[in-house]
Every structure is written in structure tokens, then in C-alpha cells.
Amino acid sequence: MITILLATMVVLPMLGEWWVSTRNERELRALGAVEPSGDVYALMQVVYPASFLAMIVECAQRDPSRDMLVAAGFTVFVGAKILKYWAITTLGVRWTFRVLVPPGSPLVSGGPYRFVRHPNYVAVLGELIGAALIAHAAISGPAAVLAFGVLMLLRIRVEERALGLGGERPGGQ
């Protein structure tokens, strides 16, 4: 039962986010946005869903019962989704899976960007940790957090370069 719940919690929002990203991508490209070189998106689009798939498989093998770990994971996962959707809402059309910055776009400094430079990545980390806790994924959970964490750090460099940021705050895409 926990495995089905986890799979549903992961897959349905992921499909919705893909749809929003694809729609926004078309609009940004129409505005003249181009992708910077050196992005790790090709790896991210494989590692992100594969991470959750591995945790879902581990969950099915462990068949965890409803316990404090599952409850904590659910809380972390839902909190991460709230933060992610706040970031998505704040960025509006500028939110995509890809790094696309239209020429002359101002730096976003509202919403969660007032408090943290890359709230979407904080949320993604929370999604991974929450799913790992729900799944009792002692192997795939830490591996997913580490692998995708490295990709996010590389991605942040690409984003900050595309946004023309050095070390100043606030905001970021």
C-alpha cells in the first residue's frame, strides 16, 4: 500500500510539472530565450525519475508499514512540494526544467526567492529525502540525494552564469 501511495505521490505531480515546463519552454523560446552551454539537463532528466523509481522499487521490496519514518517522509515531501509550487508560481512562465532566460529579464526576488537563492532545488532535495523516508530506502535514498545533489550544484553554476550573477543576492531562477 505504501508503495502505491509513493508512486502516485511522485508520478502524478511529475507529469503535471513536465506539462507546465513544456508549455513555459515554448513561450520562453518565443521570447528569444536560449539555453546556455554546459547544462547538465540531459543527465538530470534521467537521474531524477530514475532516483524515484529506484526508491519505489526498494519500497516494494521492504514493504514498510505506516510508521514514524513514513509520516516524517510524507511531511517532508508535502512541505517540499509546497515550496516548489511557491517557486513555480513566483517564476510564472520563467519556470522550466531547462535553463531559459529571456533577454533583459529582471532577476526574480519575490516569493521564496526573498529567502533563498534556489528554492526549487531546496524543494527537490526535500522531495528526494521525503520519498526516501517514506520508502525506507536505505540504499537508493542516499544514493539519489547524493547523485542528484551533485547535478543540482552543477546546474546552479549554469543558472547563475545565465542570470549574470556573481555572489549577490537576492533571487535566482
Per residue in 13-27, pLDDT (tens digit) is 999 999 999 999 999
For the cut 70, the answer to whether the pLDDT of residue 173 exceeds it is no
* The pLDDT value given to residue 155: 96
Contacts of 80 (CB under 8 A, 6+ apart): 122, 123, 124, 125, 126, 127, 129, 130
Which amino acid makes up residue 141? G
- Mean pLDDT score across all residues of the chain: 93
For the cut 80, the answer to whether the pLDDT of residue 172 exceeds it is no
The percent of residues above 70 in pLDDT, for the chain, comes to 95
Per residue in 68-107, pLDDT (tens digit) is 999 999 999 999 999 999 999 999 999 999 999 998 888 8
